Amino acid sequence: MMKTIGELCKIINGIYNIKGNVEKKITGISSDSRKIEAGDLFICLPGVHVDGSVFAKQAVEKGAAAVLTTKHLDLPPQVVQITVHNIHEAMEDVVPYFYDYPGKKMRMIGVTGTNGKTTTTHIIAHILRSAGYHVGVIGTIHALIDDEELPIHNTTPDVVELQQFLSLMYEKGITHVVMEVSSHALDMKRVAGCEYDTAVFTNLTQDHLDYHKTFENYLAAKEKLFQGLSSGEHVKDNKTAIVNIDDPYGKDILGVCKCKVLTYGVEKEADLKGANLKVELKSSSFDVTGPFGSVSLHMQITGLFNVYNTLAAIGAAHAEGVSTEIIDKAIQTFHSVPGRFELVEEGQDFAVIVDYSHTPDSLEKALTTARAMNPKRIIAVFGCGGDRDRTKRPIMGRIAAEYADIPIVTSDNPRSENPEDIVKEVEKGVLEGLKEGQHHEVIVDRRSAICRAVAIAQSGDIILIAGKGHETYQILNSGTIHFDDREVARDAIKGR
Ligand SMILES: CC(=O)N[C@H]1[C@@H](OP(=O)(O)OP(=O)(O)OC[C@H]2O[C@@H](n3ccc(=O)[nH]c3=O)[C@H](O)[C@@H]2O)O[C@H](CO)[C@@H](O)[C@@H]1O[C@H](C)C(=O)N[C@@H](C)C(=O)N[C@H](CCC(=O)O)C(=O)O
Ligand SMILES: Nc1ncnc2c1ncn2[C@@H]1O[C@H](COP(=O)(O)OP(=O)(O)OP(=O)(O)O)[C@@H](O)[C@H]1O
Ligand SMILES: N[C@H](CCC[C@H](N)C(=O)O)C(=O)O
Ligand SMILES: [Mg+2]
């Protein structure tokens, strides 16, 4: 994979100066000085907190052979400096080229939308594995190369990390990559150099307005995945878009698709249509009619939202040429994703569900799914993340008051913010949504909030602990501590 600096420079548009020996070979690339190894190229990226160029010296000390920068830096003469007008464009050119465009050599399936990306990617991966393919997964929980698990920091990693994952996957014989494509990633072009064969739109509801500022910008970011199916330089043909037509923004996505489209839904006419849903606590069943005729499916996951995720996955698998028989069998053996409507069972006579709903829509979906199980009462323990979209806080509060019997507001990764301030913003919405005589609580400490919910639970109740799902940490201003809702709930039940 080694390439000379001269070769790399040929691919970069907008270079205005190259200083140093271009015959030198580059052995790797990183935009993080802490990950630099001898012979690497260090890319100086401006960040939200700091300008990466301040770490150039540290990168050189670790052996960086060259730096890609927008301004000349005071570095030892043996370090090659490539100065460019636009660092992001240069990075998007050079990184996929360096790794020989792995995202154009494997089948690439991208899933975007506010909610359901992780679940849908995992169902697609399970179907493709059942069809005998070697599958790579990239998303919120981890990256998977077949069954080898690698840690991940963002739902969609930055350009460098993503190309490294893809390159490793290609080397290890992966044929299909199923990945979550976040709106941040589309906006920041983290997926530069990837060419998707199949792109899935799950839904669009409020989140991330701290970053995108307006809902229009958020939609525009999501649309990029579908515009990308037919724009730019292409080596692949026959792309398919799988679009949730029941979502109000489904038609906007269709509007930008210039490729084959498969729509899915439950309410409107769709190419893949679900009907006759029956939900239970641990399983559900529904009928699906599609290009392959009609089938009745039984699955080990529950809720209407999972019918949508499953329809999306069926569409993607169908687009990838998997037979209906294999899809049908695979759906039956798919077990839920960690932290998504995950039951904590210690023999208690009430249900405890740990779920990753951290947006207004997903919280509503999780609560209405819980209600469909006919519990005596629903106790919802939830909060909202710090340093994230503040406008969703009162909305989530109102939803919890409306759909749960006892909302308990608590902390969910306050990050740099004061947790007391966050819960107040959430509680404002709770107070608006409370019905007469309805009781609510605010308990800032998440462990205490979960323990309280368990302590007051009665036979036949459901406790929904929302927001953190698979997460095993709580991010506080003072640092990150170990915290796992499932462990805490289990201990609380045992100690009751
Ligand atoms: C707002 C945002 O997206 N921030 C991302 C950004 O961080 P940043 O701009 O703050 O970076 P910075 O800390 O200022 O550092 C600037 C540069 O200096 C470098 N550096 C820094 C320190 C050092 O010692 N040496 C060094 O070289 C950094 O590698 C970086 O290149 O670049 C980092 C490296 O790529 C990302 O990890 C980081 O994501 C943070 C963790 C984040 O929380 N992102 C969230 C908002 C996000 O992207 N979420 C989406 C959506 C998930 C969903 O759908 O719900 C996702 O795709 O995960
Ligand atoms: N299709 C869906 N529509 C609405 N809510 C959903 C859907 N699928 C899952 N959910 C809810 O959203 C939560 C998160 O699901 P999932 O992790 O699959 O979404 P995601 O899009 O990957 O989220 P993130 O943006 O954090 O990566 C689930 O725990 C569930 O409560
Ligand atoms: N991908 C989402 C995850 C949110 C999870 C929730 N627990 C929180 O910390 O807000 C984000 O970074 O906004
Ligand atoms: Mg996800």
Which numbered ligand comes closest to the C-alpha of 119? Answer: 2
The residue whose CA is least distant from atom 22 of ligand 1 is 32
Residues 15 and 254: their CA atoms lie apart, in Å, by 38
User: CB within 8 A of 401, min separation 6: which ones?
Assistant: 407, 429, 430, 431, 432, 433, 434, 435, 438, 440
Report whether residue 388 contacts ligand 3, using a CB cutoff of 6 Å. Answer: yes
Question: Which of 358, 392, 471 should be mutated for ligand 3, with most atoms under 8 A from CB?
Answer: 358
Report whether residue 121 contacts ligand 2, using a CB cutoff of 6 Å. Answer: no
Which numbered ligand comes closest to the C-alpha of 367? Answer: 2
What is the pLDDT at residue 166? 98
Residues 144 and 126: their CA atoms lie apart, in Å, by 12
Q: Is 160 helix (H, G, I), strand (E, B) or coil?
A: helix
- Other Cβ atoms within 10 Å of 171 Cβ, number: 11
474 and 447 in contact (C-beta within 8 Å)?
no
**Which helix H or strand E contains 183, and what residues bound it?**
helix 183-187
447 and 488 in contact (C-beta within 8 Å)?
yes
Flag whether the pTM goes above 0.80. Answer: yes
Express as a percent the part of the chain with pLDDT over 90: 95
Report whether residue 183 contacts ligand 3, using a CB cutoff of 6 Å. Answer: no
Phi and psi for 276 in degrees, rounded to 5?
Answer: 55, 50
Report the range of poorest mean pLDDT among 45-49, 136-140, 336-340, 433-437.
Answer: 45-49
Does the 342-494 domain belong in CATH 3.90.190.20? yes
Where do you find CATH 3.40.1390.10 in the chain?
Answer: 3-98
- Other Cβ atoms within 10 Å of 347 Cβ, number: 6
What is the pLDDT at residue 235? 87
From the CA of 241, how far away is ligand 1's center (Å)? 29
Where do you find CATH 3.90.190.20 in the chain?
Answer: 342-494
From the CA of 117, how far away is ligand 2's center (Å)? 6
From the CA of 47, how far away is ligand 3's center (Å)? 19
Judging by DSSP bridges, how do beta strands 107-112 and 80-84 pair with one another?
Answer: unpaired
- Interhelix angle 360-371/392-403, rounded to 10 degrees, is 10
Express as a percent the part of the chain with pLDDT over 70: 100
Question: What does each C-alpha distance from 353 to 35, 281, 367, 450, 469 come to in angstroms?
Answer: 38, 10, 11, 11, 9
Report whether residue 359 contacts ligand 3, using a CB cutoff of 6 Å. Answer: no
Q: Which of 398, 412, 431, 426 is nearest to 483 (CA)?
A: 412
Tell me if 263 is assigned to a ligand binding site.
no
Q: Is 480 helix (H, G, I), strand (E, B) or coil?
A: strand
Tell me if 244 is assigned to a ligand binding site.
no
Tell me if 4 is assigned to a ligand binding site.
no
pLDDT digit string, tens, across residues 223-246: 999 999 988 778 898 999 999 999
The answer to whether the Cα torsion of 91, 93, 98, 102 is positive or negative is positive
Whether residue 1 has pLDDT greater than 80: no
Give, as one character, the DSSP assignment of residue 192: T
Q: Which residues are found with C-beta within 5 Å of the ion, ligand 4?
A: 117-118, 140, 155, 180
pLDDT digit string, tens, across residues 145-202: 999 999 999 999 999 999 999 999 999 999 999 999 999 999 999 999 999 999 999 9
Give, as one character, the DSSP assignment of residue 434: P
From the CA of 14, how far away is ligand 2's center (Å)? 40
Tell me if 118 is assigned to a ligand binding site.
yes
Does the 3-98 domain belong in CATH 1.10.357.10? no
From the CA of 2, how far away is ligand 1's center (Å)? 27
- Residue range 446-465: average pLDDT? 98
Start-to-end C-alpha separation, the chain: 58
Question: Which homologous superfamily does the CATH classification assign to the domain defined by 102-332?
Answer: Mur-like, catalytic domain (3.40.1190.10)
pLDDT band for 16, please (50, 70, 90 cuts). confident
Average confidence score pLDDT of the chain: 96
pLDDT digit string, tens, across residues 263-299: 999 999 999 999 999 988 899 999 999 998 999 999 9
From the CA of 111, how far away is ligand 4's center (Å)? 10
What is the pLDDT at residue 336? 86
Where do you find CATH 3.40.1190.10 in the chain?
Answer: 102-332
Report whether residue 413 contacts ligand 3, using a CB cutoff of 6 Å. Answer: yes
Report whether residue 489 contacts ligand 1, using a CB cutoff of 6 Å. Answer: no
Report whether residue 475 contacts ligand 1, using a CB cutoff of 6 Å. Answer: no
336 and 301 in contact (C-beta within 8 Å)?
yes
Q: What atom in ligand 1 is closest to the CA of residue 140?
A: 58
Q: Where are the beta strands (DSSP E) in 259-395?
A: 260-265, 272-279, 284-290, 293-299, 342-343, 351-355, 378-382
Report whether residue 392 contacts ligand 3, using a CB cutoff of 6 Å. Answer: no
From the CA of 388, how far away is ligand 3's center (Å)? 8
pLDDT digit string, tens, across residues 65-82: 999 999 999 999 999 999
- Residue range 443-472: average pLDDT? 98
From the CA of 140, how far away is ligand 4's center (Å)? 4
Please return the burial class of 458, using the count of CB atoms within 10 Å of its CB with bins 0-12, 13-18 and 19+.
Answer: exposed
The residue whose CA is least distant from atom 54 of ligand 1 is 182
